[in-house]
Amino acid sequence: MLKVTIPHLGNSYIPLSALFREVGLEVILPPPISQETIALGAKLAPEFACLPFKINLGNFVETLRSQTIDLIFMAGGVGPCRFGYYGQLQQEILRANGYQVDFLILEAPKTHPRELWEKLKKYLPKHRLTDFSRALSYAWQKAKAVDTFDTLANQIRPLEKKPGATSRLQKKFYHALNAAVLHKDIKKIVNNALQELSSLSVKTEFKPLKIVLLGEIYMVLESQVNFKIEETLGNMGVEVKRTIHFSEWVFEHLLLSIVKPNWRQKQFLLAKSYLDNFVGGHGLETVAHTVDAAVNNYHGVVELAPFTCMPEIVAMQALPAITKDLGIPVLPLIIDEHSGEAGIRTRLEAFVDMLAYRRSRSRGGELLEVVSRN
């Protein structure tokens, strides 16, 4: 059986493993991202390459060191951001270091799912298009399931009475979902998990702070690299609304950009007074969602950006003006291979304290509870 691997990107391994398994490929996942993965990638990559590039590379090397892999699956793009050239350069670097491996690069946003199939078919002579579309719907179901669960988990976590209960359920759910192979099993697992989650005992009187989490997609989705920021904030008694979800991203880039090319319209309108042009990556979304957070009375925004990330740096220039005009505090966190958990934690704590203080001044009375959770 042909062996494929994919780079880590949050929970995307769950739908992607399903997709490849379903068309008859063996999926080998890279070992979990560790400090060593990051160091390894950083050593081989150009100094100023983006952090996600380096970590992908680390993933590939760690996988190739212990296994023979036939195919690496990557997404691509057409600029202006560097992401569109990741695969090509990574392949060159791997080759230069003695790893011979093919890349299958899905050129989002311009590729039709059919093209992915055309590319895959080369490796799968026995499969038909219907097999592929079944695999696709199956992967889609899993992707949606993960995102539905995570969204609810972020709402429940700050309220849980037993610390860690939500995260434990989350782990269990990922595990079960990843193992499921039938549509009806998936449905059952999701329903059960959601039910379990909703029946956790929670503090009804507690009003959590609400923070919007946004920024560069990899940093937002990959909890091993963002120091489990959703969990950390949740444990500090904060309800986190994440603006980027893997399923949505796939939907927007694979489907919307074909059937409804102006799907970004709403973001453009929201961002317009602060950033008037698409700048690649999630730069425009960062600005739009910050405005959105302010308008919808969130208490604060955390922006995650890898060091040297161009779209986020452009967006970052606009954020102070939004804070000034609309009164929403923003904490930009720039992460690189040397970032440490302690530093990030301290900054998050200070930010949350500040938000709690602001709220207590405006409404009174809720400050003590947040502090007592720590």
Partner 1 sequence: MIIGLPQGLLYFWFAPLWREYWQKVNCSVISSPPTDRQLMMTGVGSTLDEICLPIKIFIGHVKWLVPKVDKVMIPHLVKIEPKAFICPKFMGLPDIVRHTVPEIGEKMLVVKFDHPKTNFKQALDQAARQLGLKPPKKEFDLQNQLQGERIWPGLLNLNFQKMLNQQTENNLKIGVLGHPYCIYDPCFNLELLKRLRENDLTYYTPEMTPICYQGQGAGSLEKDLFWTLGRLQFDALEWMLEELNVDGFIHISTFACGPEAIVGELLEKRIRQANKPILKLNYEEHSGEAGVITRLEAFLDLMKYRCQVC
Given the rule CB under 6 A, which residues bind ligand SF4?
50, 52, 81-83, 216, 281, 306, 309-311
Instruction: Out of 58, 84, 158, 208, name the contact with partner 1 by CB under 8 A.
Output: 84
Choice between 57 and 189, CB closer to partner 1: 57
Beta-strand relationship, 300-306 and 209-215: parallel
Which partner, partner 1, ligand SF4, none, binds residue 306 by CB below 5 to 8 Å per kind? ligand SF4
Q: How far apart are CA 201 and CA 189, in angstroms?
A: 20
> Taking CB under 8 A as the rule, does residue 76 contact partner 1?
yes
Torsion of CA 206, 330, 9, 60, to 10 degrees: -140
> Taking CB under 8 A as the rule, does residue 342 contact partner 1?
no
> Taking CB under 8 A as the rule, does residue 309 contact partner 1?
yes
Which partner, ligand SF4, partner 1, none, binds residue 96 by CB below 5 to 8 Å per kind? partner 1
Least CB distance to partner 1 at residue 335 (A) = 12
Choice between 34 and 317, CB closer to partner 1: 317
How many residues touch partner 1 (CB under 8 A)? 41
Instruction: Out of 129, 295, 321, 368, name the contact with partner 1 by CB under 8 A.
Output: 321
Choice between 6 and 190, CB closer to ligand SF4: 6
Q: Which residues contact 349 (CB under 8 A, 6 or more apart)?
A: 236, 374
Instruction: Give the DSSP H or E segment for 233.
Output: helix 229-235
For residue 188 the two structure tokens come to 């059952």
Torsion of CA 338, 344, 346, 351, to 10 degrees: 140
> Taking CB under 8 A as the rule, does residue 214 contact partner 1?
no
**Chain center to CA of 63:** 21
> Taking CB under 8 A as the rule, does residue 89 contact partner 1?
yes
Which partner, ligand SF4, partner 1, none, binds residue 206 by CB below 5 to 8 Å per kind? none
* Burial track 274-306 (b if 16+ CB lie within 10 A, e otherwise): bbeeebbbbbbbbbbbbbbbbeeebbbbbbbbb
Identity at 318, one-letter amino acid code: A
Cα distances (Å, whole numbers) of residue 246 to 142, 148, 150, 218: 11, 11, 11, 10
Q: How far apart are CA 156 and CA 352, in angstroms?
A: 18
Instruction: Out of 314, 331, 356, 370, name the contact with partner 1 by CB under 8 A.
Output: 314
Least CB distance to ligand SF4 at residue 271 (A) = 16
Residue 14 contacts residue 148 (beta carbons within 8 Å): no
Which partner, partner 1, ligand SF4, none, binds residue 47 by CB below 5 to 8 Å per kind? partner 1
Site residues (vs partner 1, CB under 8 A): 46-50, 76, 78-82, 84-85, 88-89, 92-93, 96, 274-281, 283, 307-311, 313-318, 320-321, 334
